Amino acid sequence: MERYFASVWRELPAENRHWLLTRALVATAAINVVVNAVIAWLSVAGQGPVPMWGLPLVETSIFWNVLGTLFLLPLITCVLTTTAIRRDIRRGALPPLATLRYTHRWLAALPLRRWRRGVLVGAMTVAVLAPPLVLVLAAAGPGDLGEGRFVLCQTVFAVLLGIVVTPPIALCAMADPPVARNVPPGPSAA
């Protein structure tokens, strides 16, 4: 897996590597710190200890919060990241990587529409990461968490998840064909 990502990294133009480092990793991490800390704090404000298990949509619990984050963070990240990348490509600030769709078939397998892609990426993230995370939570059995500790844990979890999902989402958007970016086909869209 490491070799695969190293080979993809070497194929990328400098502008795309810079975008991935500064926006997909650093900026996304900073945004996730603020947004997820606020959401976590608002979701438990005045609740008292946050239980491991609970009824969904009735009270905030660690289990349902992890599942919700596994789906919603990739979904929202996909929509926002794809929008930003398509805008940067249209403006000429970022070269498109349409050829990646042919050399890396997984990029071509994802839907072109942002929301559909986001739903699929969110569902895949839940399918892949939820089982091991639920096992870890059950085995660790942290019990109830105080509000502050819950906010901290949720924020760290969201930042780490963002670091994992944002670069592949960004690569996918960079490899979108011109039709997905509302750009007429031509040399600049190759």
pLDDT, one tens digit per residue, over 93-102 is 999 998 887 7
190 pLDDT higher than 50: no
Q: What number is the average pLDDT over the span 59-68? A: 88
Q: Are 90 and 181 in contact (CB under 8 A)?
A: yes
Q: How far apart are the first and last CA of the chain?
A: 27
- Highest-pLDDT range among 10-14, 62-66, 161-165: 161-165
Side-chain-side CA neighbours of 155 within 13 Å: the count stands at 17
The pLDDT value recorded for residue 131 is 96
Q: Where are the domains of the chain?
A: 15-178
Record the tokens describing residue 18, joined without a space: 């810079």
For residue range 128-152, list pLDDT tens digits in order: 999 999 898 888 876 788 888 889 9
Rounded CA-CA distance 131/125 in Å is: 10
CB atoms within 10 A of CB 44: 22
Lowest mean pLDDT among 30-34, 61-65, 178-182: 178-182
Torsion of CA 124, 44, 162, 183, to 10 degrees: 80
Rounded CA-CA distance 6/41 in Å is: 38
59 pLDDT higher than 90: no
Rounded CA-CA distance 54/58 in Å is: 8
The alpha carbon of 181 is separated from its chain's Cα centroid by a whole number of angstroms, namely: 20
Rounded CA-CA distance 73/166 in Å is: 10
1 pLDDT higher than 60: no
Record the tokens describing residue 104, joined without a space: 């890396």
Rounded CA-CA distance 50/152 in Å is: 12
The pLDDT value recorded for residue 2 is 61
82 pLDDT higher than 80: yes
Torsion of CA 141, 145, 150, 154, to 10 degrees: 10
Taking CA atoms, 99 is separated from 70, 75, 96, 171, in Å, by: 30, 25, 9, 11
